[in-house]
Amino acid sequence: MMVRKVRYVLAGCVVAGVFALAGVGGASDIGPTVKQSCSRCHTTKRICLNLGVKSDTAWKATVARMVEKGAQLPAGQIDAAAGYLTGLAPGGGTVCE
Ligand code: HEC
């Protein structure tokens, strides 16, 4: 009985740790990823012109449309990329450098 309980606790820790790592990495590293995958067909000027203009919903729609066209974003990163773009000030961020 005791051993089983300990095992569950340990498994819980491992799962929480993996999620914590994924969260930190995903949020801070998406800038270069967005810049790379979004500058394949057009310059990032197209994106920079829309910073501070598009809402989060609008960015989600745009990013999803670009992924349909062939933009290579890691699976499940559409929301993260859209959130990142929504949070940037006009002309700001790695994307516009
Ligand atoms: C496979 C080629 C391709 C890739 C990769 C790509 N785009 Fe585009 N993008 C296009 C084309 C073609 C247009 C013009 C036609 C249109 O708007 O659908 C466009 C237009 C745009 C526009 C202007 C139109 C609008 O809706 O505001 C923005 C902003 C944009 N792209 C953002 C992005 C972002 C962000 C990424 C990365 C997730 C990206 N693009 C990756 C092909 C691409």
Distance of alpha carbon 12 from alpha carbon 24, whole angstroms: 19
- If you take atom 33 of ligand 1, which residue's CA is the nearest one? 38
- The residue written with tokens 């999620």 in the block is 19
Mean pLDDT confidence for 2-19: 53
CB of 63 closer than 6 angstroms to any ligand 1 atom? yes
Token pair, residue 30, equals 């998406």
- Where are the domains positioned within the chain? 30-96
Distance of alpha carbon 84 from alpha carbon 28, whole angstroms: 9
pTM, entire model: 0.80
Which of 11-15, 54-58, 74-78 comes out lowest in average pLDDT? Answer: 11-15
- The distance in angstroms from the start CA to the end CA of the chain is 58
Distance of alpha carbon 81 from alpha carbon 33, whole angstroms: 9
What is the architecture of the domain spanning 30-96? Answer: Orthogonal Bundle (1.10)
Q: DSSP letter for 74, please.
A: -
